[in-house]
Each structure stands twice: as C-alpha cells, then as structure tokens.
Amino acid sequence: MTARPERRPPPKITASYLENASLHYLERFSSSRANLRRILMRKVDRSLAHHGGEAAELAPLVDAVIAKLAGLGYLDDGAYAETKVRTLHRRGGSLRTIRATLAAKGVEADTAEAALATLSEAGPDPDRAAAVALARRRRLGPFRTADKRAAFRLKDLAALGRAGFGWAICRTVIDAASVEALAEEEQGS
C-alpha cells in the first residue's frame, strides 16, 4: 500500500497573504463582509493550528484587509444583497428563504430588507411570482402533465410549502386550472 504524500503546511498569516486570498476568493464568488471574514478566519485558524499563536492577535489584520477591500469597492453588502435577492427570487425562492439565506451570509437585517424592497417594485406580489417560477422549474401543479396532476397535488403543495411559501400562495399556484390561467391571474393582480 502506498503512503499518502505529505500535505503542504498552511502558510503563515501575513497581511499580503490575507489580501491575496481575499482577492482570489472574490474573483470567483461575490461575498458579504461577514462571509469573507468567516472564510479568512478559517484560514487563520488552520494556520495557527500548525504554526501556533492566538486568533485574537490576527483578527485585527483580517478586519483591516476587509476594510481595505470595502474601501476599494470590492465588498459592498448592499450590492451583494440585491444581486442575491434577484437571483434567488428568479429561481423561485420565497421571501422567507431569501431572508434566511442573507442572514446566513452575514448581511444585516436592514440591508436585507432594503434589497427585498426592490422586489416589490417588480410586481405586486413577489412571493407569488417566485412560487410560479419554482413550480415552472420543478414542473409542479399546472406545469405537470394533466394525467398526473391529481395524483401529485399533495406532494406539489408540500414542495412549495417546504420552499417557504404560505398556504394561500401554494394553493393558488398548484390549483390553477392551467399555465395560461396562472399567467392571466398574475397579469390581473
């Protein structure tokens, strides 16, 4: 049996290392300040486990890098929240799910609410529009073939309910007579 090759030890934490790691991460993903801080602190913890030291000593270094990147415009929680809200809503995320996702990423509640307010400009009931988008994507309710609709009604209702939509919205979307009727209701409201 061959032995596994030795893993390379984590690098020692310096300001330039943290800045480069941050830029590399931000090239691939958008992030909130709190999320980037969490990622950088994991790198710090990994390095300290190998080299020794205290995380409290390097936390100000992490905060300085985050402040610098925010000052340069690489980190903007408001823009991140708006983008995340639009993306999740388009994919069929309920307002409840979107709020929870933003909170998990460390976006402050007032920033999240400001981003969610942009959805109400798009239409009168953003939660209903997201439910329709999710039903379309997952082929639930009126998007399912007519011969299987009745058999899967409860499962379709449960799927929308688990996605964070209220009972009234779930019933409206799943019990719509057809895709056309659902579209007409949306235009009428």
Q: C-alpha distances in angstroms, 110 versus 79, 81, 115?
A: 13, 11, 9
* For helices 126-138 and 109-122, angle between their N-to-C axes, nearest 10 degrees: 80
Q: What is the DSSP letter of 140?
A: -
Find all residues with CB under 8 Å of 100, minimum gap 6, and list them.
164
Q: What does the pLDDT read at residue 173?
A: 94
Q: How far apart are CA 12 and CA 7, in angstroms?
A: 15
Q: Are 93 and 130 in contact (CB under 8 A)?
A: yes
The candidate with the shortest Cα–Cα distance to 173, out of 182, 186, 184, is 182
Q: Are 142 and 135 in contact (CB under 8 A)?
A: yes
- Helix, strand or coil for residue 160? helix
Q: What is the DSSP letter of 25?
A: H
Cβ count within 10 A of residue 102 = 24
- For 175-182, the CB contacts below 8 A with 24+ separation are 175/141, 176/141, 176/142, 177/142, 178/142, 179/142, 179/143, 181/142, 182/132, 182/142
* For helices 179-188 and 126-138, angle between their N-to-C axes, nearest 10 degrees: 170
Q: What does the pLDDT read at residue 24?
A: 97
Q: What does the pLDDT read at residue 188?
A: 63
The two structure tokens encoding residue 161: 């309910």
Tens place of pLDDT per residue across the chain (189 aa)? 677 778 888 889 999 999 999 999 999 999 999 999 999 999 999 999 888 888 889 999 999 999 999 999 999 999 999 999 999 999 999 999 999 999 999 999 999 999 999 887 767 889 999 999 999 999 999 999 999 999 999 999 999 999 999 999 999 999 998 889 888 877 765
Residue at 22: amino acid letter: S
